[in-house]
Amino acid sequence: MAIIDTVKQEFTETFFANLAEVASTDEITAIVLNHLEPDHTGALPELLRRAPHAKVYISCRAPGMLKALLKSDMKNFDYTPVDTNDELDLGGRKLRFLNTPYLHWPDTQCTWLDDAQVLFPGDLFGCHFCDDRLFNDLVGDFRFSFEYYFAHIMRPFKEYVLEALELIEPLAPSLVAPAHGPILRDQPTNYIRRYRQMSEPRLHNEVKSDEKSLLIFYISAYGSTARMAEEIRNGASSVAGIRVSLYDLEGGEVAPFVNLVEEADGLMFGTPTINGDAAKPVWDLLASLCSIKTQGKMGAAFGSYGWTGEAVEMVEARLRGLKIRVPRSGLKIKLIPTEEELAECRAFGQSVAEHLMGTNVNTVIDFSDL
């Protein structure tokens, strides 16, 4: 008999009470851990004590994490790392493993029960929605939670979701049992298809495949940073193959911009320096980008200032923190830009656009690339 995943530590007693209704811990020969996050492994130490002869199966990327999780408890047992297509014979029934890393930790895997066509996908296709009627056709409408979970947990790992779907879709499971959220027994394929839709690029019908998109966001109290932004846009637009968008962050919500940023190639942020800092809407947007993948994009910062002007460097540091390449150091202009300075803005926009297109000859090596 196999147990697949456990529960958050505070639910340990409920877990064992539920387990006692279907089996005794002596019967457990295998403990499969699809994901080591504490909401799935909280009852593991106690399970290991109660089922000392059970063998533990984890993904081949998980051993380091398991050691960090169990620390001193680690001495007491052995584990087997498994990979795609490794099988575990339970005496008549077979479990097969699918290596599906980074959903949403490096250690994640899915487990497939062949004869019943059941997929145990861990967090994938899951949500934070609980109803003791358990099954998707009984619990009512939980779409908001399914989509919210994807948007906040899986979204930064879309590429890995698509890789996992390549393994999962051909199986056409008749039941999908995520580690939390309703068990999907009614038309599980619909949920798998929805994951594909949410993971595939959407905005590319706006930008041609041979074009690059550059988004310029700015905020401005007295209009100086706004003037810079317009001229930077004009300079960038002069480069062939670039689609440039200009957005004023004043007064609006930043959330809708996150979707645009996700599929853009280049990002520029303009902010005045206010009390030694960048303006809040710029931070709000930059703080919202942790739910998407930003690595590999290119970025730059600019802004007007009065005497210290540190906002531009602060934004650049955040861009680097998001693993965004910053090939040109930012453009700062003291107070109101002159005609000459506006020409500098155009040249800056053009240069950033050329870096994006890979046509700028003076490419600077950026440490975040190394």
Ligand X SMILES: Cc1cc2nc3c(=O)[nH]c(=O)nc-3n(C[C@H](O)[C@H](O)[C@H](O)COP(=O)(O)O)c2cc1C
- Pull the structure tokens for residue 2: 């196999």
In the complex, the smallest distance separating the C-beta of residue 243 from ligand X, rounded to whole angstroms, is 25
Q: Which of residues 323-352 bind ligand X (CB under 6 A)?
A: 335
Which of Fe ion, ligand X, none sits in contact with 306, Cβ below 5 to 8 A by type? ligand X
Beta strands in the chain (DSSP E): 2-4, 30-32, 55-59, 79-82, 87-89, 94-99, 109-113, 118-120, 175-176, 212-218, 242-248, 266-270, 298-305, 331-334
> How far is Cα of residue 203 from the mean position of the Cα atoms in its chain?
18
Assess 305 for contact with ligand X (CB under 6 A). Answer: yes
Amino acid identity for residue 183 in this structure: I
Tell me which of 45, 63, 106, 309 binds ligand X, using CB under 6 A.
309
Binding range to Fe ion, per CB under 5 A, among 22-30, 65-73, 121-129, 333-341: 121-129
The binder of Fe ion chosen from 2, 3, 95, 123 (CB under 5 A): 123
Stretch that binds Fe ion, among 54-62, 116-124, 264-272, 293-301 (CB under 5 A): 116-124
Give Cα separations from 345 to 38, 79, 97, 153, 313 (angstroms).
Answer: 50, 60, 55, 38, 17
Q: Which of 2, 33, 34, 37 binds Fe ion (CB under 5 A)?
A: 37
Rounded Cα–Cα distance for residues 287 and 322 (Å): 10
Residue whose entry in the numeric block shows the structure tokens 């645009």:
260
Q: Which does 39 bind (CB under 5 to 8 A by kind): ligand X, Fe ion, none?
A: Fe ion
What x-and-dash track marks residues 266-295 binding ligand X by CB under 6 A?
------xxxxx-------------------
Q: Is the peptide bond before 104 cis (omega within 30 degrees of 0)?
A: yes
Residue 307 binds which one of Fe ion, ligand X, none, with CB within 5 to 8 A depending on kind? Answer: ligand X
Closest CA to 16 of 49, 39, 38: 49
Does 307 participate in binding ligand X (rule CB under 6 A)?
Answer: yes
DSSP string, 276-314: TB--HHHHHHHHGGGGS--TT-EEEEEEEESS--THHHH
Residues numbered 171 to 190 that lie near ligand X (CB under 6 A) are none
Cα separation of 104 and 157, whole Å? 7
**Of the listed pieces 153-161, 187-195, 257-265, 299-307, which binds ligand X according to CB under 6 A?**
299-307
Whole-number minimum distance, CB 39 to Fe ion, in Å? 4
Q: How near is the Cβ of 122 to Fe ion at its closest, in Å?
A: 7
- HSE value, Cβ hemisphere, 13 Å, CA-based, for 346: 9
Q: Which is nearer to ligand X, 264 or 314 (by Cβ)?
A: 314
The nearest distance, CB 362 to ligand X, in angstroms, is 28
Q: Choosing among ligand X, Fe ion, none, which partner's interface includes residue 18 (Cβ < 5 to 8 Å by kind)?
A: none
For ligand X, what does the binding mask look like between residues 206 and 245, x meaning CB under 6 A? --------------xxxxxx--------------------
Q: Is 39 in the site for Fe ion (CB under 5 A)?
A: yes
CB of 223 to ligand X, least distance (A): 5
In the window 152-171, what residues touch ligand X (CB under 6 A)?
Answer: none
C-beta closer to ligand X: residue 108 or 273: 273
Size of the site for ligand X (CB under 6 A): 18
Minimum distance from CB of 303 to ligand X (Å)? 7
Distance of CA 187 to the CA centre of its chain: 26
Residue 97 vs residues 32, 56, 75, 188: alpha-carbon distances, Å:
10, 13, 25, 19
Tell how strand 242-248 and strand 79-82 pair up: unpaired
CA gap 301, 333 in Å, rounded = 12
Q: Beta strand pairing status for 175-176 and 212-218?
A: unpaired
The backbone torsions φ and ψ at residue 321, rounded to the nearest 5 degrees and listed phi first, read -60, -30
Q: Is 106 in the site for Fe ion (CB under 5 A)?
A: no
Sheet holding 298-305, edge to edge: 242-248, 212-218, 266-270, 298-305, 331-334
Of Fe ion, ligand X, none, which one sits near residue 37, judging by CB under 5 to 8 A according to partner kind? Fe ion
Q: Which residues bind Fe ion (CB under 5 A)?
A: 37, 39, 123
**Binding interface with ligand X (CB under 6 A):** 220-225, 272-276, 304-309, 335
